Chains A and B, each alone.
Chain A
Amino acid sequence: MNRKLLYALTLGVGLTPGFAFAQAASSTQSVSPAAVTMFIFFVLVTLGITYWAAKRTKTAAQFYAAGGGITGLQNGLAIAGDYMSAASFLGISAFVYAWGYDGLIYSVGWLVGWPIVTFLIAEPLRNLGRFTFADVASFRFDQAPIRVLAASGTLVTVAFYLVAQMVGAGALIKILFGLEYWHAVVIVGCLMILYVTFGGMIATTWVQIIKAGLLLGGATLMAFLVLYAFNFNPGALFAKAVEVHPRHAAIMGPIFAPGAPVSTPLSAISTGVALMFGTCGLPHILMRFFTVPNAKEARKSVFYATGFIGYFYILTFIIGFGAIVFVSTNPDFIDQAKVAGGMSVINATRGFPNMAAPLLAKAVGGDVLFGFISAVAFATILAVVSGLTLAGASAISHDLYANVFARGKASEADEIRVSKIATVCLGIFAIGIGVLAERINVAFAVGLAFAIAASCNFPVLVMSMFWKNMTTRGAVVGGFLGLITAFLGVVLSPAVWEGIFGNAKGSSLVTIDNPTLFSMALAFAGIYVVSKLDTSARATSDRAGFPMQFVRSQTGVGAEGASAH
């Protein structure tokens, strides 16, 4: 067990700590009628919204960016809905349940990218782009090479993130609803294809908004019920948790759980860099900034999103401690045979470790709350995979097809058709890989997605916006350098090379857990050196384009955005 946890965490993917074990839980929960009812209700509502959205999705601007008609508050909720995955809800609360304070260390890492997005990215991104972040990264450069680079960064990020979500979804739904693993994967894949193909960004946005509302509401209710039992005194909750947890007072400080993100200071910082700057380079998140009408709403949306996400992480911490008090002490939730065999009550908890939050819901709110939280977990997965699929489809249709293959001459109708075909293909890919990967520990995949977002997408995007001397050649060389080194860094790391491929202990060529500190630095260095040495005619025009681009990024003059006037 601990070995698996180690793999999950050393990659900085404690991000999905729970999912590492999902496959380990063999017993499926008895099906809760409340859960099924609420889930079916959610599906019907979202399909209704998709039908409504489909009638409003005619143009490319509507398909990719909801016509730019989303308000700051709505977009803030949708960003939160796009970002707060089932892994962070079930995974982090379960991690707090098992290790206490170490869970908070992860939560903090998940949040700190958002201020950077606010200070450096959101506004110029909104002012320069229309549908994808490649619009911004390629603004003054040779379109084809930069778009191929940005689409590669997008598709690799999306593919790994998507696979992690699908495998997690299948395993989780198997436990929550008692469905077969592959049934769950197919249901998630089909619903996601329906939402995105027919409803585009409008349906995706509303699925994310509803999901964010349900998740925040459900988590608030659970935290409220937990604190209510302690007269709203967190100190009393902590005291009780320390009393009943097998690790007692140790859970109130860093434990260095096996393979914690702080195994060495260098690894800890590299993981932190991946989280912080990976958040700034996630294509499905960046894309959300094109759905608002102007820079002001873009700023507001990231402020709201930061608030919702920060609040949510504080709730997961309370939920984790609540589970220590109400789940680990309840014999109904503990596998007594395992305890008799010497296992701690924490590890012997049914469905360990994913189930801490749903079991807490059952403990404090009965079957109805359990059903509600299970349905929320399912909704959460759907919202995240829909956002990812839309981002991937946009990279294929808007960047690769319309701007590279058709050299900007594709008709709007053709572009939309290609993006719908791409959505279906991505959906089938996600279902296929999801089913095949059932027995593989995919916890590394989210870490890889963040590493690549931080090492390829982020450097190219930020340098294109702020450094006047960047050239097409510099961006392509630096960007691919970051992408390839991040990829190899993860594959050759001990967790994947030895843990997943089963090579001998100590045989991995890379010793650091997460390569991002180096791969991101290499991308920036590559962009800098190659751009400086670039004396081509294209380089001259790339540099000459900067002043006008900068004025637009700062003032919004000439910004067309999705809500073209």
Chain B
Amino acid sequence: MATVRLEAIEKNPKYQHLVAERRSLGVTLSVLVCIIYYGFILLVAFAPTFLGASLTGGVTTVGIVVGVLVIVAAFLLTGFYVNRANGTYDTLTKQILEETSK
């Protein structure tokens, strides 16, 4: 692989934009997932009565809803990232590769 091309890619402003953008999204979402999950664990540890409390007077508790929401949130955030990466980022990558292929 021509080192020249890799250097050209590295200098391309679109590449720098892509890397910065993707890194900030990846890190933000990772931190978000950690907050959600460790927040859930801390709720279990410190506020079990809150999770065990009835949601609307029936037997279904706050904890059931929170637990299922953590699972759903993990899935949706993954989907959000993949959608962004397969759209915006891939288009940008393609442009970068075309611009540096000469």
Contact = CB atoms under 8 A, between A and B. Distances in A.
Contact of A119 (B30, B49, B71, B93): B30
Given A101-B61, A120-B30, A272-B37, A310 B71 contact: yes
Contacts of B10: 547, 551
Given A115-B30, A235-B59, A253-B61, A557 B86 contact: no
A253 B77 contact: no
A300 B64 CA distance: 29
A115 B76 CA distance: 9
Given A120-B30, A556-B93, A302 B3 contact: no
Given A118-B81, A118-B82, A108 B40 contact: yes
Contact of B9 (A234, A265, A276, A555): A555
Interface in A507-523: none
A296 B63 contact: no
A268 B85 contact: no
Which residue among B6, B60, B74 has the maximum number of chain A CB atoms within 10 Å of its CB?
B74
Nearest to B96: A555
A556 B90 CA distance: 11
A313 interface: yes
Interface string B19-42: 100100111011001101110111
A254 B44 contact: yes
B44 A268 contact: yes
Main secondary structure of the interface of A (DSSP, over half): helix
Nearest to A117: B78
Interface residues of B, number: 55
A380 interface: no
Given A262-B41, A265-B46, A554 B15 contact: yes
A272 B60 CA distance: 25
Which residue among B27, B75, B97 has the maximum number of chain A CB atoms within 10 Å of its CB?
B75
A48 interface: no
A239 B64 CA distance: 13
Interface residues on A, range: 35 or more
A111 B72 CA distance: 10
Contact of B48 (A116, A242, A254): A254
A238 interface: yes
B27 to A, nearest CB: 8
Given A101-B61, A548-B6, A253 B78 contact: no
Contacts of B61: 101, 252-253
A557 B9 contact: yes
A306 B70 CA distance: 13
A269 B41 CA distance: 7
B19 to A, nearest CB: 6
A82 to B, nearest CB: 17
Main secondary structure of the interface of B (DSSP, over half): helix
Contacts of A276: 34, 37
Nearest to B2: A558
Contacts of B63: 101, 104, 252-254
A238 to B, nearest CB: 5
A299 B82 contact: yes
A467 B61 CA distance: 44
A154 interface: no
A58 interface: no
A303 B30 contact: no
Interface string B45-85: 11011011100001111011001101110110111011001
Contacts of B36: 112
A115 B27 CA distance: 11
Given A101-B64, A310-B75, A256 B58 contact: no
B41 A272 contact: yes
B30 A253 contact: no
A123 interface: yes
Contact of B78 (A115, A264, A552, A557): A115
A235 B90 CA distance: 44
A173 B46 CA distance: 40
B41 A552 contact: no
Nearest to A239: B59
A441 interface: no
A105 interface: yes
Contact of A242 (B29, B59, B86): B59
Given A104-B67, A252-B61, A123 B85 contact: yes
Contact of A111 (B38, B71, B85, B86): B71
A88 interface: no
Which residue among B5, B25, B30 has the maximum number of chain A CB atoms within 10 Å of its CB?
B30
Given A114-B74, A299-B82, A302-B78, A252 B45 contact: no
B59 A268 contact: no
A360 B32 CA distance: 37
Contacts of A440: none
Contacts of A101: 51-52, 61, 63-64, 67
A339 interface: no
A552 B6 contact: yes
A514 to B, nearest CB: 12
Contacts of B40: 108
Nearest to B36: A112
B30 A116 contact: yes
Given A114-B74, A551-B9, 4 more contacts: A252-B64, A265-B46, A302-B82, A547-B6
10 contacts: A105-B67, A111-B71, A112-B37, A238-B64, A265-B45, A547-B6, A554-B22, A555-B15, A557-B97, A558-B6
Interface of B: 1, 3, 5-6, 9-10, 15, 18-19, 22, 25-27, 29-30, 33-34, 36-38, 40-42, 44-46, 48-49, 51-53, 58-61, 63-64, 67-68, 70-72, 74-75, 77-79, 81-82, 85-86, 90, 93, 96-97
Top 9 nearest A-B pairs by Cβ distance? A253-B52, A558-B1, A254-B48, A104-B67, A119-B26, A303-B82, A252-B61, A265-B45, A112-B37
